[in-house]
């Protein structure tokens, strides 16, 4: 179930079929990093089997007009989040910075630690960033009316359904993400469509917005978002090439990790928590001024999105979750590009549309704000 324990699972499969059957709609779908290492379990495959190509084929056969990867939104998130980290360091602004891509912990801090609301990065989460780019840049590039575009997110997460409805993310003229379905719902749709998943050939994501890096894949596991951000921040801060991109001190299944990463002559102090009990401990350290961190990652689900509330049930068997994690790191190693700022389609997007990372247009489209909410 959802780690916030505040949400029950709503079933949105019918809405997706309805959109796919509407000839006036251009329906695009994006898949989160953690889906590709767990979806196969719903079809009898071993935990950790990487099914990216089969999943793309299944989505194309179901009738989506275009199939994209939320990893593109994750690369975009890193461009903004690494810029924000460097901006805060160089301008003596609030540190630590907290990654903001998990909506369950964002809600947790709004309710439980409102005095720390200047700490999270203002970046929207990757799938919401992707939805915004789909209804602006992609719509313009393809001559589409954004009102006729339906963005479907396949997520490992039930909290993402509530996130897509947050008023500050839907106040602009276009609702950025229209429908969120979970990995389990996708599995049900594939079965409903009569697709024999195990026997599918592999396909590639559509372009543009389909090129992604290893940095974006590791968003799917605890420690991955901060590692991806450091791969980029390191090169931007030092002007030197980062040869070994794997930061072992940020990895593993421990619920609370403290680590130091050397970036030139600076030592970045990192905190990583997964599971809301560990998040509370970390946030209390910060509130009481005990922990001196430069950057923090929090994921509400123990282990991160690979063990999300919308994934195939693991029934507390963390051997399954570890296999998914190993597969995520394998996907990273399989990628030619492993740093977000080297993604050519991301660079093209900034050059032709967004301008500078963390600049005015990027800020307007890719950032949000958080609010104190009533304690529950």
CB 306 within 8 A of CB 220: yes
CA 250, distance to chain mean position in Å, is 18
Whether 301 is a known active-site residue: answer no
Supply the minimum distance, in Å, between the C-beta of residue 325 and ligand SF4. Answer: 13
Whether 84 is a known active-site residue: answer yes
State yes or no: residue 59 binds ligand SF4 (CB under 6 A).
Answer: no
Q: Choose the stretch contacting ligand SF4; rule: CB under 6 A; options: 19-27, 141-149, 282-290, 302-310.
A: 302-310
Q: 269-290: string of b/e by CB count within 10 Å (b at 16+)?
A: bbbbbbbbebbbebbebbeeee
Kindly tell me which residue out of 29, 76, 102, 200 binds ligand SF4, with binding defined by CB under 6 A.
Answer: 102
State yes or no: residue 209 binds ligand SF4 (CB under 6 A).
Answer: no
- Residue 368: helix, strand or coil by DSSP? coil
Q: Choose the stretch contacting ligand SF4; rule: CB under 6 A; options: 60-68, 153-161, 231-239, 244-252.
A: 153-161
- Give me the residues paired with residue 67 across strands: 29
* H or E stretch covering 287: helix 276-287
Whether 102 is a known active-site residue: answer no
Kindly tell me which residue out of 308, 327, 329, 338 binds ligand SF4, with binding defined by CB under 6 A.
Answer: 308
Supply the minimum distance, in Å, between the C-beta of residue 54 and ligand SF4. Answer: 22
Specify the residue, 70 or 136, whose C-beta has the smaller distance to ligand SF4. Answer: 70
Considering the candidates 41, 54, 80, 81, report the single residue annotated as catalytic.
Answer: 81
Specify the residue, 159 or 366, whose C-beta has the smaller distance to ligand SF4. Answer: 159
CB 125 within 8 A of CB 155: no
State yes or no: residue 28 binds ligand SF4 (CB under 6 A).
Answer: no
CA atoms within 13 A on the CB side of 222: 28
Give the 3-state secondary structure of 322-348. Answer: HHHHHHHHHHHHHCCCCCHHHCHHHHH
State yes or no: residue 128 binds ligand SF4 (CB under 6 A).
Answer: no
- Residue 352: helix, strand or coil by DSSP? helix
Specify the residue, 96 or 156, whose C-beta has the smaller distance to ligand SF4. Answer: 156
Whether 2 is a known active-site residue: answer no
- Residue 148: helix, strand or coil by DSSP? helix
Supply the minimum distance, in Å, between the C-beta of residue 304 and ligand SF4. Answer: 5
Provide DSSP, 221-249. STTHHHHHHHHHHHHHHH-S-------GG
Torsion of CA 255, 286, 260, 70, to 10 degrees: 60
Whether 81 is a known active-site residue: answer yes
Kindly tell me which residue out of 150, 154, 159, 228 binds ligand SF4, with binding defined by CB under 6 A.
Answer: 159
Specify the residue, 57 or 176, whose C-beta has the smaller distance to ligand SF4. Answer: 176
Backbone angles phi, psi at 66, to 5 degrees: -150, 145
State yes or no: residue 3 binds ligand SF4 (CB under 6 A).
Answer: yes
State yes or no: residue 299 binds ligand SF4 (CB under 6 A).
Answer: yes
State yes or no: residue 301 binds ligand SF4 (CB under 6 A).
Answer: yes
Of 232, 288, 279, nearest to 85 by C-alpha is 232
Kindly tell me which residue out of 48, 96, 304, 312 binds ligand SF4, with binding defined by CB under 6 A.
Answer: 304
Whether 121 is a known active-site residue: answer yes
For residue 176, what are the contacts with CB-CB under 8 A and spacing of at least 6? 124, 128, 131, 132, 134, 135, 151, 164, 169, 170
State yes or no: residue 104 binds ligand SF4 (CB under 6 A).
Answer: yes
Closest residue to ligand SF4 in the complex (CB): 308
State yes or no: residue 177 binds ligand SF4 (CB under 6 A).
Answer: no
For residue 370, what are the contacts with CB-CB under 8 A and spacing of at least 6? 100, 106, 109, 110, 117, 120, 122
Specify the residue, 109 or 299, whose C-beta has the smaller distance to ligand SF4. Answer: 299
Specify the residue, 321 or 365, whose C-beta has the smaller distance to ligand SF4. Answer: 321
State yes or no: residue 302 binds ligand SF4 (CB under 6 A).
Answer: no
Specify the residue, 40 or 126, whose C-beta has the smaller distance to ligand SF4. Answer: 126
Of 226, 237, 231, 229, nearest to 265 by C-alpha is 237
Residue 5 tokens, joined: 């324990």
Chain residues that interact with ligand SF4, rule: CB under 6 A: 3, 102, 104, 156-157, 159-160, 299-301, 304-305, 308
Residues that are catalytic: 81, 84, 101, 121, 160, 163, 168, 305
């Amino acid at each position: 179930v959802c780690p916030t324990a505040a949400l029950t699972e709503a079933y949105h499969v019918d809405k997706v079929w309805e959109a796919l059957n509407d000839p006036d709609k251009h329906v695009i779908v994006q898949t989160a990093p953690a889906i590709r290492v767990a979806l196969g379990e719903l079809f009898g495959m071993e935990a950790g089997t990487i099914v990216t190509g089969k999943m793309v084929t299944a989505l194309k056969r179901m009738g989506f007009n275009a199939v994209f990867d939320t990893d593109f939104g994750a690369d975009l998130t890193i461009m903004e989040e690494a810029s924000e980290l460097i901006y805060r360091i160089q301008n003596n602004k609030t540190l630590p910075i907290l990654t903001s891509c998990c909506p369950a912990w964002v809600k947790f801090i709004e309710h439980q630690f409102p005095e720390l609301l200047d700490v999270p990065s203002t970046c929207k989460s990757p799938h919401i960033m992707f939805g915004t780019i789909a209804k602006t840049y992609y719509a313009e590039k393809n001559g589409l009316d954004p009102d006729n575009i339906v963005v479907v997110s396949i997520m490992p997460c039930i909290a993402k359904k509530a996130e897509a409805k947050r008023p500050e993310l839907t106040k602009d003229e276009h609702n950025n993400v229209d429908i969120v379905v979970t990995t389990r719902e996708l599995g049900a749709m594939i079965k409903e469509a009569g697709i024999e998943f195990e026997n599918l050939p592999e396909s590639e994501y559509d372009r543009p917005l389909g090129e992604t890096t290893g940095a974006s894949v590791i968003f799917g596991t605890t420690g991955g978002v901060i590692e991806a951000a450091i791969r980029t921040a390191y090169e931007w801060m030092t002007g030197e090439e980062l040869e070994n991109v794997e930061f072992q001190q940020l990895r593993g299944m421990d619920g609370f990790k403290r680590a130091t990463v050397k970036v030139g002559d600076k030592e970045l102090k990192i905190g990583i928590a997964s599971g809301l009990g560990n998040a509370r401990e970390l946030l209390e350290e910060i509130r009481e001024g005990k922990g001196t961190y430069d950057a923090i990652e929090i994921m509400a689900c123990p282990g991160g999105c690979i063990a999300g509330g919308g994934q195939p049930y693991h029934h507390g068997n963390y051997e399954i979750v570890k296999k998914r994690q190993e597969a995520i790191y394998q996907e990273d190693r399989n990628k030619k590009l492993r740093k977000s700022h080297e993604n050519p389609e991301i660079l093209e997007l900034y050059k032709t549309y967004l301008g500078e990372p963390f600049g005015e247009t990027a800020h307007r489209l890719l950032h949000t704000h958080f609010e104190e909410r009533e304690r529950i």
